[in-house]
Chain A
Amino acid sequence: MDMDRVESREQLDRLAKEFRYIITDIMCRAGGGHIGGSLSLVEIIITLYFRIMNIKPDNPRWEDRDRFVLSKGHAGPTLYTALAYKGYFKKDVLLTLNANGTELPSHVDQVITPGVDQTAGSLGQGLSCANGIALANKLQNRTNNVFCIVGDGESQEGQIWEAAMFAAQHKLDNLVVITDYNKMQIDAEVENIVSLEPLVDKWRAFGWEVFEMNGHDWDEIYETLNKAIAVKDKPSMIVAHTVKARGNECYENRIECHFINIPDEDERKRVIGGVCTDDEGQPFHFNWTEGKDE
């Protein structure tokens, strides 16, 4: 499969399946991880990295590249998988997730991980940083885009709304933000903690161009991102309706999926089993040896 650009539905589906297997597998090997909010972003991050973003994996800090800020930094494993497939580092580095001395920590880190544009993980901060990046790129007369993904629970942070006002004030139309609206946070459903509704109206009221999409539908994601990129004089928000832990039968759409612990081999087999079937219900297995780069 050519990893520069992946367009066919069949290849995208295959890629998503491999991503879900790998994300689950590396978390299981690490003894646990933020599986819910990682799996909810698989289609969106694949679309960004394999169909939308203008990047050069052999030159991670290329000045004219599109930038990506994963403000909900705990979804790092999905980004790392994309970066490995794009060639920023070898695929077997993914197996070091959260290991002692790793360059792939649970929350994204611009200093130690090739291809990560902005450190994040303390929620609410990444969108402000994305504002600064977008502002700098405008000052530098660049024509790139800055993409940022925020969480729905993260949107309870006041700083998100400080950043929302600033981006609109300064007409940051090179900024496209996506809310991973999987409707769940650590303790319970978002609506049972502090509701974000009406979320679309809120962003519109803050002066943003707002779109909604099914965050697991390839065509919708691609088309909506392109519409958002084309917006002028305003920042864009895409409220992506997603399913937390999408694609792992053991945890999909369950409150306990935010962070899983894998205490033993039995649990590891059970959770891996959750992503081990293909569309026909047949066993699916990603072969690390075959998948490994030379």
Chain B
Amino acid sequence: MKLHEKELRAVYTDTLIELMTENSNVVCLEADLGKSSGTVPRVWEAFPDRFFDVGVAEANMIGISAGLANEGMVPFCATFTPFATRRAYDQITISIAYAENPVKIVGTAPGVTTAKNGATHMCFQDLAIMRAMPNMRVYCPADVYELRSVVRYMAASKKPEYMQLIREVKPAIFDESYEFDPHQARVLDQGSDITLVTTGLTTIFAREAVAMLNQENIHAEHIHYPSVKPFDVETLLESVKKTNAVVTAENQNVIGGLGGAVCEVLAEHHPVKVKRLGAQDRFGEVGDVPYLSETLGFSAKDIAGACRELIKAK
């Protein structure tokens, strides 16, 4: 089976097992959602001494991870995005970020991908709130190759880091040669009509949108940001100097996340028109991913539509 035929969570688990085999300091923590992350039962069975399921106690998981990291261990702790970020926000802020304890936090089932769990589990603010935290880095890999590289990068880095983990099978964007660099955004398609900025799930949607636009002879420059923080300013500015308009799309609220990061950079360096796609300051609801992304306005069709409109308005 090719890597991109696997679920992303399976690749997260594979990579973690490789890392734990290579490095006895790497430990895995879960808060009763290990089956969902993919680590139960495989990591538990492979490394029973370095797997800790803390139960339904996210604040405690964050604190334990902070203590482990303080002692030189490399803890990867995972749970659904709302519980991995907003539920334990002060614990992450003080015990991890402020204390400079390099814990690796993994938020699974980001945004609409939590689907039938509905609004209570559908976090649209994790990129914004984690990005607003000093010392914290924020990553959103879009395919398995990138995911594997990001996880490996995190295991080696001495920084507190947060990563969104989409669980399901997604199409390949990159290949075996991919190497993650948090300071480097990826230009997936070159174009001069408009700049299209995405991360994580919306990068997959945007691929489809770019193909639709190409048929109309509209050429979008599509930039994927695997790291929302640190944010690669140069790649954005270089593109915007050609296109003079930007559409952002994210599996998040439009306030404070990727679109927020883009607008902050442009307002200071090169003001141009921007359209931010994402949840328009509303909560989620139950539904499948196509329904939700259309309802919230960041499906491939919405992205293509926003590009057309903004080009007209230039």
Which A residues form the contact surface with B (CB < 8 A)?
Answer: 109-111, 117-122, 124-137, 139-140, 158-159, 162-163, 165-166, 170
In the complex, the answer to whether B64 meets A166 with C-beta atoms within 8 Å is yes
In the complex, the answer to whether B50 meets A131 with C-beta atoms within 8 Å is no
Q: Chain A residues near B216 (CB, 8 Å)?
A: none
Q: Given the known A-B contacts A111-B99, A121-B94, A132-B64, are A166 and B57 also in contact in the complex, defined by CB atoms under 8 Å?
A: yes
CA of A137 to CA of B54 in the docked complex: distance in angstroms? Answer: 18
Q: Chain B residues near A136 (CB, 8 Å)?
A: 67-68, 70-73
Q: Chain A residues near B49 (CB, 8 Å)?
A: 139
The answer to the question of B248 belonging to the interface, with a C-beta cut-off of 8 Å to chain A, is no
CA of A135 to CA of B99 in the docked complex: distance in angstroms? Answer: 19
The answer to the question of B59 belonging to the interface, with a C-beta cut-off of 8 Å to chain A, is yes
The answer to the question of B52 belonging to the interface, with a C-beta cut-off of 8 Å to chain A, is yes
- Of residues 53 to 112 in B, which have CB atoms within 8 Å of A's CB atoms? 54-55, 57, 59-60, 62-73, 75, 90-91, 93-95, 98-100
In the complex, the answer to whether A111 meets B67 with C-beta atoms within 8 Å is no
CA of A185 to CA of B69 in the docked complex: distance in angstroms? Answer: 32
Partner of A125, one of B27, B50, B63, B73: B63
State the majority secondary structure of interface residues on A. helix
A-B contacts, 11 of them at CB < 8 A, read A110-B100, A118-B66, A124-B59, A125-B66, A125-B95, A129-B67, A132-B68, A132-B75, A136-B67, A136-B68, A136-B71
Q: Given the known A-B contacts A111-B99, A122-B90, are A139 and B70 also in contact in the complex, defined by CB atoms under 8 Å?
A: no
Nearest to B31 among chain A residues (CB) is: A162
Nearest to B57 among chain A residues (CB) is: A162
Q: Given the known A-B contacts A111-B100, A139-B27, A139-B49, are A130 and B59 also in contact in the complex, defined by CB atoms under 8 Å?
A: no
State the majority secondary structure of interface residues on B. helix
CA of A132 to CA of B71 in the docked complex: distance in angstroms? Answer: 8
Q: Given the known A-B contacts A119-B94, A125-B91, are A132 and B99 also in contact in the complex, defined by CB atoms under 8 Å?
A: no
Tell me which of A120, A126, A131 has the highest count of chain B C-beta atoms within 10 A of its own C-beta.
Answer: A131
Q: Chain A residues near B98 (CB, 8 Å)?
A: 111, 119
In the complex, the answer to whether B63 meets A139 with C-beta atoms within 8 Å is no
In the complex, the answer to whether A133 meets B94 with C-beta atoms within 8 Å is no
Q: Chain A residues near B99 (CB, 8 Å)?
A: 109-111, 118-119
Q: Chain A residues near B90 (CB, 8 Å)?
A: 122, 125
In the complex, the answer to whether A128 meets B71 with C-beta atoms within 8 Å is no
Q: Chain B residues near A126 (CB, 8 Å)?
A: 63
Q: Chain B residues near A163 (CB, 8 Å)?
A: 60, 63-64
The smallest beta-carbon distance between B91 and chain A, in angstroms, is 6
The smallest beta-carbon distance between A282 and chain B, in angstroms, is 44
Inter-chain pairs besides A128-B60, A159-B57, A170-B52, 18 sampled, C-beta below 8 Å: A109-B99, A110-B100, A111-B99, A119-B94, A119-B98, A119-B99, A122-B90, A122-B93, A124-B59, A125-B95, A126-B63, A128-B67, A132-B68, A132-B69, A133-B68, A136-B71, A162-B59, A162-B60
In the complex, the answer to whether A132 meets B57 with C-beta atoms within 8 Å is no
Nearest to B66 among chain A residues (CB) is: A129
In the complex, the answer to whether A132 meets B67 with C-beta atoms within 8 Å is yes
Nearest to A134 among chain B residues (CB) is: B67
Closest 3 CB pairs of A and B: A132-B67, A128-B63, A136-B71
The smallest beta-carbon distance between B78 and chain A, in angstroms, is 16
CA of A137 to CA of B68 in the docked complex: distance in angstroms? Answer: 9
In the complex, the answer to whether A110 meets B57 with C-beta atoms within 8 Å is no
Q: Chain A residues near B65 (CB, 8 Å)?
A: 132
CA of A131 to CA of B52 in the docked complex: distance in angstroms? Answer: 12
CA of A60 to CA of B132 in the docked complex: distance in angstroms? Answer: 32
In the complex, the answer to whether A128 meets B70 with C-beta atoms within 8 Å is no
The smallest beta-carbon distance between A246 and chain B, in angstroms, is 28
Nearest to B98 among chain A residues (CB) is: A119
Tell me which of A111, A120, A136, A158 has the highest count of chain B C-beta atoms within 10 A of its own C-beta.
Answer: A136
In the complex, the answer to whether B66 meets A132 with C-beta atoms within 8 Å is yes
CA of A130 to CA of B59 in the docked complex: distance in angstroms? Answer: 13
Q: Given the known A-B contacts A118-B99, A136-B71, A166-B54, are A128 and B27 also in contact in the complex, defined by CB atoms under 8 Å?
A: no
CA of A196 to CA of B264 in the docked complex: distance in angstroms? Answer: 48
The smallest beta-carbon distance between B26 and chain A, in angstroms, is 11
In the complex, the answer to whether B95 meets A129 with C-beta atoms within 8 Å is yes
The smallest beta-carbon distance between B192 and chain A, in angstroms, is 47
Q: Given the known A-B contacts A119-B99, A129-B66, A165-B55, are A140 and B71 also in contact in the complex, defined by CB atoms under 8 Å?
A: yes
CA of A132 to CA of B91 in the docked complex: distance in angstroms? Answer: 14
Q: Given the known A-B contacts A119-B98, A119-B99, are A135 and B68 also in contact in the complex, defined by CB atoms under 8 Å?
A: yes
CA of A139 to CA of B23 in the docked complex: distance in angstroms? Answer: 13
